[in-house]
Amino acid sequence: MKLDHEKYRKLAGFLLKTRPEEMSCDEWIDRVGEYAERVLAGRPIPASLDEVVRHIEHCPECTEEFQAILAALREDH
């Protein structure tokens, strides 16, 4: 796969934002339910969910999954 200049810039940006202690996608999926429920209810987000928020900000796949979770929860309410 050949990467153009813009794709290299984006990849480098993601790598620079990654931290060794960053939550994995598997860990994220275990905790996103509580975050989604709080978002929908308009409740405050505790510091214990900061990693969940950071993961959504940096992982496009999980951001997409989060949007699907929110949509499903909205349909249930």
Is 37 within the bounds of a domain? yes
Is 8 within the bounds of a domain? no
Is 35 within the bounds of a domain? yes
Count of residues for the chain?
77
Is 55 within the bounds of a domain? yes
Is 41 within the bounds of a domain? yes
The amino acid occupying position 62 is C
Residues in CB range of 59: below 8 A, 6 or more apart: 25, 28
Contact 17, 56 (CB under 8 A): no
| pTM above threshold 0.85 | no
Range of the domain at 30: 22-76
- Per-residue pLDDT of the chain (77 residues), as tens digits, is 566 778 767 766 666 665 556 789 999 999 999 999 999 999 999 999 999 999 999 899 999 999 999 999 998 76
Is 57 within the bounds of a domain? yes
Is 43 within the bounds of a domain? yes
Q: How many domains does the chain have?
A: 1
Is 11 within the bounds of a domain? no
Q: Residue 5 has what pLDDT? A: 73
